[in-house]
Structure 1
Amino acid sequence: MSAAVHSERPALLVTAADLAPQALALLRDFDVVYAGKSPSDDDIARLCKTHNPEAIIVRYGKIGAQAMDAAPALRVISKHGSGTDTIDKVAAQARHIEVRAAVGANAAAVAEQALALLLACAKSVPHLNTRMHAGHWDKASHKSVELAGRTIGLVGLGAIGQRFARMALAMDMRVLGYDPYARDVPPGIEVVNDLDTVWREADAISLHCPLTEDNRGLINRDTLARCKRGVIVVNTARGGLIDEAALLDAIQSGQVSSAGLDSFADEPMAGGHPFQGHERIVLSPHIGGVTSDAYVKMGVASTENVLAVLRA
């Protein structure tokens, strides 16, 4: 963790151990302070008190009122990504601190991860790989799911959801999309006005929406019961969108055939989580947006958002 810096240049706090060189090149007029790989709320607040940053770029950890109050010079909190649920936006608004997101910067990366998880589930890739390495040959007994002609239901039609939709359309899937805030939806996506249509008609469901108090636990016992039996569930958005106990029960009962998950209610996932070791749950450690390309795009976009506010 960075020590105190005494300088006349304004400070900028990054809640991580690094930032892309292309982003740092834009921050030559700032003292950049790093909070480390996994900063706690107290760590961040302590650094805010020590350095009084004018801006925070958020990669890991949460930014709440404690950190904001510790940095009276703070004018902007910029997310190194598209989801701002780790920032207390109500507290920020009350303190006249702007909150920005790098919308679309990781769209390609996350959409590709969602597609990878969907295909891994439909084609049983991890399970068959394990079986093959153990010396088995399951050709006579295994049947995968063909996605062409089947319906994918998307919850959220922002930059990521729309990019994923184009991939699904290229595979000859029918694409249903629900997003009451979406504008200029490209052709090919059947926009529906209610989630019940998604639950009822989709053979696979992929989540691409932000987490809010209104949609927390969106995938739960009730909504899963309304889905087609054998539905595939993919989540590269936020873990809080899914009631994990309900999803596990639905997988064990066969109501959900498989799930591909890149985000979880509690992160990092602790050892002994009931999802671990389940052959019909494909897991990745919230790395949908973590590619070398997205790292640069998100770093530059989040930095440009900072500069847009501070130079206004």
Structure 2
Amino acid sequence: MSTFLVTGADLAPQAMALLEGHDVIFAGKTPSEDDIVELCRVHNPEAVIMRYSRIGATAMDAAPALKVISKHGSGTDTIDKVAAKARGIAVVAAAGANAAAVAEQALALLLACTKSVVTLDARMHAGHWDKATHKSVELGGRTVGLIGLGAIGLRFARMADALGMRVIGFDPFAKELPDYIERVELPAIWERADAISLHCPLTEENRGLLNAKTLAQCKGGVIVVNTARGGLIDESALLSAVQSGQVMCAGLDSFAVEPMTAGHPFQGQKGFVLSPHIGGVTSDAYVNMGVAAVKNALEVLSRQPAHA
């Protein structure tokens, strides 16, 4: 029997069923890093199921029995992987478990930007009828540039292709790609894409990938969609690009600091469609991610000698 710490308030029943016979500790809805450190100190878990907050070296040192940190999702940037490696702690992720959900959110944001869904809805509710003055953007025949061609990027690419879009993509780690994706380098994304959608993990190398310099290299009126990590974008540069019209619209599901607080410059700003990092939050993805996270953790523990 092992002790599992879940950095959240719940897991899907299907995931909990896999943990029958194990001790499961829940950190609550919004645990802080300090909360996680204290729970590690008190319970000394063998496994952490990482849902919310961050986990670093201090928490790892507080749990000498810790063997594995398993992400309830695909992005592991909230885990100090260098510290984990130094301590022999495995870091695993539920890659692909929420691919359909996030890809659909990216498409929804792209459509909301091109079809002015949010602004037209507000105008209609206010009693206006803008048929004579409004023109939408048609996606068929336009080029979408994808940065990141993992499970989510590939799923999105398939939907974009079905809409009649040309799909170009950059991912140095992607191997075989379907024939409807043209593999390109980043300069071609900036030069050719009518819309750019981010689907890559956040690393120190790509932090601020979309910045004043790269946004200036993009086509005028480009659309930016981000359902990956907020740190991929220099938010002040994006704000300036939207205000100038260099970016026609930005559809964002992730932000540099989360949760977004009152007074953020994107709030109330024309040209932004915002959602609170819920791309992967569907009933199906909740089950898929929970089950995958638990299975990944159990698989690592099965290869480890039991803690004395």
TM bracket (short chain): over 0.9
Q: In the alignment, which residue of structure 2 is the partner of 1:121?
A: 113
Q: Paired residue for 2:219, among 225, 228, 239? A: 228
Q: CA deviation at 1:10?
A: 2.3
Q: CA deviation at 1:40?
A: 0.5
Task: Tell me which moved more, 76-85 or 131-140.
Answer: 131-140
Percent of aligned pairs sharing the same letter: 73
Residue 83 (structure 2) pairs with residue 61 (structure 1)? no
Q: Secondary structure at the match of 2:297?
A: helix
Q: In the alignment, which residue of structure 2 is the partner of 1:283?
A: 274
CA distance in 2, matches of 1:38, 1:71: 20
Q: CA deviation at 1:11?
A: 1.0
Q: In the alignment, which residue of structure 2 is the partner of 1:199?
A: 190
Q: CA deviation at 1:278?
A: 1.7
Q: Paired residue for 1:163, among 149, 155, 168? A: 155
One-letter identity of the residue aligned with 1:294: A
Alignment of 1:257-272 (within 5 A): 257-272=248-263
Task: State TM-score, norm by structure 2.
Answer: 0.98
Moved over 2 A (4+): none
Q: Paired residue for 2:234, among 221, 238, 243? A: 243
CA distance in 1, matches of 2:291, 2:5: 15
CA distance in 2, matches of 1:75, 1:183: 31
Residue 99 (structure 2) pairs with residue 103 (structure 1)? no
Q: CA deviation at 1:186?
A: 1.6
Q: In the alignment, which residue of structure 2 is the partner of 1:18?
A: 10
Residue 34 (structure 2) pairs with residue 42 (structure 1)? yes
Q: Which runs of 5+ in 1 are unaligned?
A: 1-8
One-letter identity of the residue aligned with 1:124: S
CA distance in 2, matches of 1:41, 1:240: 19
One-letter identity of the residue aligned with 2:144: I
Q: In the alignment, which residue of structure 1 is the partner of 2:306?
A: none
* Alignment coverage as a number of residue pairs: 303
Q: CA deviation at 1:30?
A: 1.1
CA distance in 2, matches of 1:207, 1:91: 27
Task: Tell me which moved more, 206-215 or 271-280.
Answer: 271-280
One-letter identity of the residue aligned with 1:236: T
CA distance in 2, matches of 1:185, 1:303: 30
One-letter identity of the residue aligned with 1:217: G
CA RMSD of aligned residues (A): 0.6
Q: Paired residue for 2:172, among 180, 191, 195? A: 180
